[in-house]
Amino acid sequence: MAWFKREKQKISPVEKKGVPDGLWVKCPTCSEFLYKPELDKSLSVCRHCSHHFRIDPKTYHDLLLDKGSSKEMFANIRSKDFLNFKAEKKYKHQLDTATKRTGQNDAINIYIGTINSTDVILGIMNFVFIGGSMGSVVGEKVSRMIDYAHENKLPVLLVCASGGARMQEGAISLMQLAKTSAKLAQFSEGGGLYIPILTDPTTGGVTASYGMLGDLILAEPGALIGFAGPRVIKQTIGQDLPEGFQRTEFLKEKGFVDHIVTREKMKSTLYNIISILHE
């Protein structure tokens, strides 16, 4: 058996044009280069194709709530390492690292504040905190937020960004699906208004619980929204998946999302919905 040997030199890669670090960003949808300070001013939305880049929770907070109106709630709840979990890294270390990186105690912050002078309670998930995973703390904070809203007759808004349940907390994480869903059912029976805002990415246990239980479900354009990833689904059903599968626009067409809202219009849209639906 003959072995073929490469005699010529490998083709050397073309040198990439230098892009100064941090100043320019390439849009993953239209490939245009965007000047970072300008992109920040436009709420991290591409001016060529309207691609919505992921933004941090603080930007979302400032985008939605009236300046100076907000107060953080339930900030001091921290996760316990119930299982003494260790995979590549110890769970305890992961928590410490995530806290240092984000300045948060877990993957969600809750605020009371106002939108155009209307009182709301708002949860914002942080994908940077262990993939925005839902463990005992996220479940507990969401539950307390709903209780608080019930007592004070506030609409509940929740900006979702999550990779799913937090496997490091095992079954305790999975219980949060039932816990938050039950709370929302009670809230709804009592006439409460709940609006989830699905951002890129909203997947796994969050999609399977409070992500999809809104009176109205809003989503940002182009966000990945689904339960299992496309590769797993493809393998399971043995079929190719349609184009745009698990993106906001596809989900809207299939009836899972009610309204696609650009970042620019998010605050005014929420205000309009609350004005109409909240008693």
Q: How far is the CB of 26 from Zn ion (least distance, A)?
A: 9
For Zn ion, which is the closer residue by CB, 48 or 153?
48
Binding-site member from 23, 24, 38, 48 for Zn ion (CB under 5 A): 48
The token pair that represents 202 in the structure block: 């909203």
Q: Which stretch binds Zn ion (CB under 5 A): 26-34, 186-194, 260-268, 270-278?
A: 26-34
Distance, in Å, from the CA atom of 79 to the CA atom of 130, rounded to the nearest integer, reads 12
- Identify whether the C-beta of residue 63 lies closer than 8 Å to the C-beta of residue 267: yes
Binding-site member from 51, 141, 166, 263 for Zn ion (CB under 5 A): 51
Q: If binding is defined by CB under 5 A, does position 262 make contact with Zn ion?
A: no
Residue keyed to tokens 């609409």: 155
Q: If binding is defined by CB under 5 A, does position 49 make contact with Zn ion?
A: yes
Q: If binding is defined by CB under 5 A, does position 27 make contact with Zn ion?
A: yes
| Positive or negative: CA dihedral 100, 106, 198, 61 | negative
Q: If binding is defined by CB under 5 A, does position 251 make contact with Zn ion?
A: no
The token pair that represents 129 in the structure block: 């905190």
Binding-site member from 19, 23, 30, 83 for Zn ion (CB under 5 A): 30
Q: Which stretch binds Zn ion (CB under 5 A): 38-46, 72-80, 124-132, 148-156?
A: 38-46
| Positive or negative: CA dihedral 38, 44, 50, 53 | positive
Q: Which stretch binds Zn ion (CB under 5 A): 43-51, 70-78, 117-125, 217-225?
A: 43-51
Q: Torsions phi, psi of 59, nearest 5?
A: -60, -40
Tell me which residue of 110, 121, 108, 107 sits closest to 153, measured CA to CA.
Answer: 121
For Zn ion, which is the closer residue by CB, 50 or 188?
50
Q: How big is the site for Zn ion, counted in residues (CB under 5 A)?
A: 7
The token pair that represents 138 in the structure block: 């996220």
Question: For residue 156, what are the β-bridge partners?
Answer: 121, 194
Q: If binding is defined by CB under 5 A, does position 141 make contact with Zn ion?
A: no
Chain residues binding Zn ion by CB under 5 A are 27, 29-30, 46, 48-49, 51
